[in-house]
Amino acid sequence: MKASWCCAVLFLWVTAGLAQTAVPPQYFGMHLVNSQPWPTVPFGSLRLWDTDTRWQQMNPDNGVYDFSNLDAYLVLAKAHGIRDVVLVLSGTPQWASSDPANSTCDYAVFAAGSCAPPADLRADGTGSNQNWRNFMSHLAEHIAGLNSDSYAPVTVFEMWNEFSRSTESWTGTIAQMQRLVQDAACILKGSGPVVATGESCTARNLLVPAVAVLPGVALVSPSAQAAAPDIQTLGQYLVHLGTTLDAIAVHDYTYGDSCCARAETLIAHWNNLRTTLTSASANLPVWSTEGSWGDTASKEPDRDLQSAYVARAHLLGWSLGFQRLYWYAWGNSWGRLWTQSGINGCRDGGSGAGCKSPAAFAYATVYSWMVGNILTRACASSGSVFSCEFTRPDGLKTLAVWDAAQSCTQGSCGTSYFAVPPGYTSYFDLANVRHAVRGNTVRIGAKPILLIAGRAAQSQGRQNPLPSQQAGPRSGTKQKTISSW
């Protein structure tokens, strides 16, 4: 096959800011549950969802608050060096719901009515909304009072989970959702006003003890799935954004009706998002607060392609402009990276450690390829061949390369020849094994490789150590939101 090198035909959009910014650990976000061993891959941020920390669970009755599950995760995160935690505010308690008998809502198995707006919040966004205000006040005061020596901080609040799914997650209006966000923004950060009621942001107006209880936290939008028609619903919400939010949240799953998911679908999703954003929101950071290939058994059953997906999604995501990607999830049937003993052929000899998939190793490898380095040339394609150039702090270049036209089946992966640019002398595969470049070409396939220039090849182990040596924090239907951990 004729060798080719990226005199790229298609360049993927990247913000000027990201082009000059080293990839932070927080770009790699994770979902987990505390009944499983802590992930043994590095990540920089934890998102709490499917963790029994919804509004309906932390406020099970009027005037009753239970933050014990939240506290347990914050203790666990602190113990593992995680200093960035996203808490999702979602799930109306049955006692406060305007439709308490609705059994089609997500998590109706816990209590019906969680997808309906509060009963004291009118369709136009007026009404007292005092049940929500009281919950937000108690939650904020509780978090503010936690000892930082023992608890990781909640640094980000996501306003609702997948509010664009109008029958299972949010049956209310956009005006009602905007009101929830504005009341939360006032209590947490002291920002206002509350537009629907005309109230300025004061404790007296909101009938709470204090506002601006956690002024340093970030607020991200209620999340929406990244594909149509959900992304249009998000666009309608953002029309009346104001100055309330610090980032936009989408959920970027790329599966279709049948097998198999493709990471490159992120490109179309990103382009659709950019056309949806209003002038008020166009400059806000975009986070994918959930994403993966979806259900592992039906959407990405091949273990080699799972590894390929993990690496390609993170490389493309940063190049496109996503500032965070939260993988869903470590030990879930969706995006599974870890399996407990006795399931899917895993045998851990009674250690309790379970089994990491090859994709988990690929996740750790691409983390080491990216974190701390600067994307100096956006990911680009020449035909089916993609390449992304990074520069390390010492000025040396690396080049991630893959061929999206290649595939894998039953342990065998197709390859094509790639003409190695001058100066690159070795490369690492997704198992982080180094290989010498012999001649002018290397074989590439669905799984990216990382070409290393010159003396970087000799110092890679020291400058970007293997995942087991990586410094810093380590980690480890749709009815999708009804998880199967």
pLDDT digits (tens, 9 = 90+) for 190-246: 998 999 999 999 999 999 999 999 999 999 999 999 988 999 999 889 887 656 899
Residue 62, in any domain of the structure: yes
Task: List the 385-391 sheet strands across, edge first.
Answer: 10-11, 374-382, 385-391, 397-403, 449-453, 424-428, 434-436
430 CB burial (10 A radius; 0-12, 13-18, 19+): buried
Is the pLDDT at 152 greater than 70, yes or no? yes
Residue 6, in any domain of the structure: no
| CATH assignment at residue 92 | 3.20.20.80
The answer to whether residues 367 and 385 belong to one domain is: no
Give the C-alpha separation, 286 to 251, whole Å.
Answer: 11
What per-residue string of b and e applies to 359-394 under the rule 16 or more CB within 10 Å gives b? bbbbbbbbbbbbbbbbbebbbbbeeebbbbbbbbee
| CATH assignment at residue 384 | 2.60.40
Both tokens assigned to 241 = 């954004």
Mean pLDDT, residues 472-482: 32
Give the C-alpha separation, 62 to 167, whole Å.
Answer: 25
Confidence at residue 461, expressed as pLDDT on a 0 to 100 scale: 42
Percent pLDDT > 90 in the chain is 81
pLDDT digits (tens, 9 = 90+) for 98-130: 999 999 999 998 999 999 999 999 999 999 999
Residue 479, in any domain of the structure: no
Residue 124, in any domain of the structure: yes
Domain count, the chain: 2
193 contact partners, CB below 8 Å, separation of at least 6: 182, 199, 200, 201
The answer to whether residues 144 and 134 belong to one domain is: yes
Cβ 117 vs Cβ 176: under 8 Å = yes
Confidence at residue 144, expressed as pLDDT on a 0 to 100 scale: 98
Give the C-alpha separation, 16 to 417, whole Å.
Answer: 32
Alpha helices in 321-455 (DSSP H): 358-370
> CB-side exposure of 292: number of CA atoms within 13 Å?
32
For residue 314, report the phi and psi dihedrals to the nearest 5 degrees: -75, -35
Residue found under tokens 């998911």: 261
Give the C-alpha separation, 188 to 211, whole Å.
Answer: 6
Short-list 206, 84, 200, 217, CA closest to 140? 217
The answer to whether residues 172 and 195 belong to one domain is: yes
Residue 9, in any domain of the structure: no
The answer to whether residues 454 and 414 belong to one domain is: yes
Give the C-alpha separation, 237 to 221, whole Å.
Answer: 9
Q: Tell me which residue range forms the domain holding 125.
A: 16-374
